[in-house]
Amino acid sequence: MPSLKDLRNRIASVKATQKITKAMQMVAAAKLRRAQEAAEAARPYAERMGAVLANLAEAFEGRDDAPKLMSGTGNDQVHLLLVATAERGLCGGFNTNIAKLAREKARSLIADGKTVKIICVGKKGFDALKRELGQHVIETVDLRSVKSVGYANADEIGKKVLSMFADGEFDVCTLFYSTFISVIAQEPTAQQLIPGSFEAKGDGESDGAHPVYEYEPDETEILEDLLPRNISVQIFRALLENAASEQGARMSAMDNATRNAGDMIDKLTINYNRRRQAQITTELIEIISGAEAL
Amino acid sequence: MAELFQFELVSPERQLISEQVAEVVVPGAEGEFGVLKDHSPFMSSIAPGILKVRKDGDAWDEYFVRGGFADVAAGGLTVLAEQAVPVAEISREQLDQAIKNAEEDAVDAKDDSAKQKADRTLRRLKDVAEALKQA
């Protein structure tokens, strides 16, 4: 049985924890707004890029001289998994969900006899994957020192992936991240980066008849220029989505934690008061029975 | 008054401009080109340089752009640039950094065409730096 003093200490400690989780929730809320704005600001670029690439890709449909980044190496033996997670924990199932998706994919690839290589962006993903797939992780990218993700960060990762591709170190590249749907919903997503697939979306403007474009320099050169850029852009977008998802996940996780702490405080307080009353009653009985005995 | 068309300047981080303008001069990979309303569909990659925009008045707004492409379609002109900064806001350090990167690229270039490309980029950047110094 805990003594009254023990209970008092417990209550004080839970209250302190509650204050921390509450503060974290508010910080996450503020950061979420910023992250969301950044993700929204980046959207037009990625969308235009996708539209233009889809246009160009159509022209190359079925041609042998299409760039490798689009058509692939004609092989799918070596897979590169690019797993983007957060640098910090305490954000509910965010990191775990991404890692789980990546792990399942890696498992099924290994079962098929493929070679798997993993690049972890973010420490938490590596922590989650290293036990089972540690020997497949070839690199971890640390973004801990980066306060808000800039295009330069994504570009760096993109360049690394591209140079590996150029050296023939992998055939297929898949990017894992979490799509931000709402504060309480984030969806772990796997997206194939290389070879790229571009779906021409009906964006209202194209009315079946494609305008005859003039290209300068020619189509091949532009496509070769654009495809590597697109990799960086996609990674950038994924990182931004991730940043927003992370804050959203943290916010709801911390909200839950704050509520739990509140419940716990209530229970402990009731317990504490009961014990206190019981103690007073006992003392009174002792005094009264002592007086009666005289 | 010149006829206006829709112009968008987008960098990965944000959309800088989205409005009706009269004329835009873009630093294309194979030379500068001007775009007016109803330009024929055209696509070009862009070289590092100064992009100029004129609204209905005579004043030109200038932006430093680097890496990306311009897409002229029936709907208007869209410039997607890896980096786009209003000239007034550009800092010497950023430019110096870009020049340094370009110099490294030129040294690292594996074959002739890559070297030529890197040299051209470097020359462009130096021109921009020169122009800014005078301004």
Among B42, B67, B83, beta carbon nearest to A213 = B42
Residue of chain B nearest A215, judged by CA positions: B43
CA atoms of B86 and B61, how far apart (whole Å): 8
3-state secondary structure of B45: strand
CA distances, B70 to each of A135, A234, B121 (Å):
44, 19, 17
Question: In angstroms, what CA-CA distances link A139 with A94, A97, A136?
Answer: 21, 20, 9
Cβ-defined contact of B69 to A150 (cutoff 8 Å): no
Q: Which residues of A touch B66 (CB under 8 A)?
A: none
Mean pLDDT of A41-56: 81
- Residue predicted with more confidence, A202 or A176: A176
Q: b/e string for B22-48 if b means 16 or more Cβ within 10 A? A: bbbbbbbbeeebebeeebeebbbbbbb
Neighbours of A132 (CB within 10 A): 12
Q: How confident is the model at residue A203 (pLDDT cuts 50, 70, 90)?
A: very low
d(CA A234, CA A231) in angstroms, rounded, equals 5
B80: phi then psi, degrees, rounded to nearest 5? -105, 115
The answer, for B24 touching chain A at a CB cutoff of 8 Å, is: no
- Report the 10 Å Cβ neighbour count for A48: 20
Phi-psi region of A62 (alpha: psi -120 to 50; beta: other; left: phi over 0): left
CA gap B23, A155 in Å, rounded: 31
pLDDT-derived band at A221 (thresholds 50, 70, 90) equals confident
3-state secondary structure of B92: helix
Angstrom distance (rounded) from CA A242 to CA A76: 27
Band (pLDDT 50/70/90 cuts) for residue B135 is: low
Whether pLDDT at A50 is above 90: no
Amino acid at A273: N
pLDDT at position A27: 94
Find the radius of gyration of the CA atoms of chain B.
15
The residue among A128, A141, A160 whose CA lies nearest residue A239 is A141
Neighbours of A94 (CB within 10 A): 26
**DSSP summary character for residue B89:** G
| pLDDT tens readout for residues A187-202 | 999 988 888 766 554 4
Q: Is the pLDDT of residue A268 over 90?
A: yes
Write down the mean pLDDT value for chain B: 82
Residue range B78-129, pLDDT digits in tens: 898 888 888 877 777 777 777 788 778 777 777 777 777 777 777 777 777 7
Number of other CB atoms surrounding residue A98 within 10 Å = 29
Which pLDDT does position A207 carry in this prediction?
42
Residue A205 has pLDDT above 70, yes or no: no
For the record, the structure tokens of B7 come out as: 């112009």
Min distance A215 CA to chain B CA atoms (Å): 5
To the nearest whole Å, the CA of B59 is away from the closest chain A CA by: 27
Strands B23-28 and B31-35, sheet pairing: antiparallel
State the smallest CA–CA distance between residue B2 and chain A in angstroms: 24
Q: How far is CA B11 from CA A36, A41, A239, B79, in A?
A: 17, 9, 16, 8
pLDDT for A289 beyond 50: yes
Minimal CA–CA distance to A195: which of A102, A57, A45? Answer: A57
CA distances from A211 to A66, B15, B129, B133 (A): 21, 25, 38, 42
Q: Which chain A residues are within 8 Å of B40, Cβ to Cβ?
A: 214
**Closest listed residue to residue B68, CA positions, set B119, B13, B114, B130:** B13
Q: Is the peptide bond before A217 cis (omega within 30 degrees of 0)?
A: yes
Task: Find out whether A24 and A250 touch, Cβ atoms under 8 Å.
Answer: yes
Give the SS3 label for residue B20: strand
Q: Look at residue A211 in the predicted model and tell me its pLDDT.
A: 58
**What tokens appear for B33 in the block?**
């080109």
Angle, helices B112-134 vs B92-108, to 10°: value is 160
pLDDT of amino acid A83? 92
Rounded Cα distance between A117 and B120, Å, is 37
Parallel, antiparallel, or unpaired: how do β-strands B5-10 and B76-86 relate? parallel
Best of A37, A45, A155 to substitute, by most chain B Cβ atoms within 10 angstroms, is A45
Q: Is the pLDDT of residue A254 over 80?
A: yes
Active site residues of A: 91
Nearest to A216 among B8, B13, B29 (CB): B29
Cβ of A41 within 8 Å of Cβ of B15? The answer is yes
Q: Could you give the 3-state DSSP secondary structure of residue B14?
A: coil
pLDDT value for A49: 83
Phi and psi at residue A135, in whole multiples of 5°? -75, -10
Q: Helices H, strands E: what count in chain B?
A: 2, 8
Cα of A146 vs its chain's centroid, Å: 15
